[in-house]
Amino acid sequence: MENLWAPWRMAFITPKTPPPPGCIFCTQPAANSDEEYHILYRGERCFMMLNKYPYNNGHLMIAPFKHAGSISLFDADTLAELMAQAQLALKALRLAMNPDGFNMGINEGKVAGAGFADHMHYHIVPRWNGDTNFMPVVADIKVMPEHLDTVYQQLKETIARIKDEEE
């Protein structure tokens, strides 16, 4: 039997410090440590960040700064910015990672799979043809080909380039 070594995953399994109490969509933007928390972009009402536990490379989330658990609790301006950031995310992901498609959506409520059910957030998961392999089937393990910090730098630079071109 051969071993598959992915020692960088230990940072996810055994974090150096316990996670802080509270909502990550409130505490992490407030910390103003965007690189540490992989916050890619900030708008007036919403922000974009990589998912620390991604389903695929480039899996990101967009969340309003306002803490509310349902899409029905946000005004039209916030929802418009959320969708504008989704467009920006898709453009950046296409330029930086060239996926073949995307899964996108909101898990509203704990029963629907929301890890932070009290703060609505929108997921974007890049997908590639042939991105499945034997590991999830045989061992219930997803192998990520790039480190989260590498994906962060790649997308952060791409988003900055896109925003510069728009100005």
Task: Tell me the per-residue pLDDT of 24-43, one tens digit each, with 9 for 90 and over.
Answer: 999 999 999 999 999 999 99
How much is the pLDDT for 135? 52
Q: Is residue 52 part of a domain?
A: yes
Using the predicted structure, report yes or no on whether residue 142 has a pLDDT greater than 90.
no
User: What's the token pair of residue 29?
Assistant: 């933007």
For 71-91, the pLDDT digits (tens) are 999 999 999 999 999 999 999
Question: 130 or 105, which is more confident?
Answer: 105
Distance (Å, whole) CA 96 – CA 116: 28
Q: Can you give the pTM of this predicted structure?
A: 0.79
Range of the domain at 78: 22-166
CATH of the domain at 28: 3.30.428.10
Total domains in the chain come to 1
How much is the pLDDT for 53? 84
Q: Categorize the per-residue pLDDT at 2 as very low, low, confident or very high, splitting at 50, 70 and 90.
A: low
Q: Which residues are catalytic?
A: 121
Q: Is residue 155 part of a domain?
A: yes
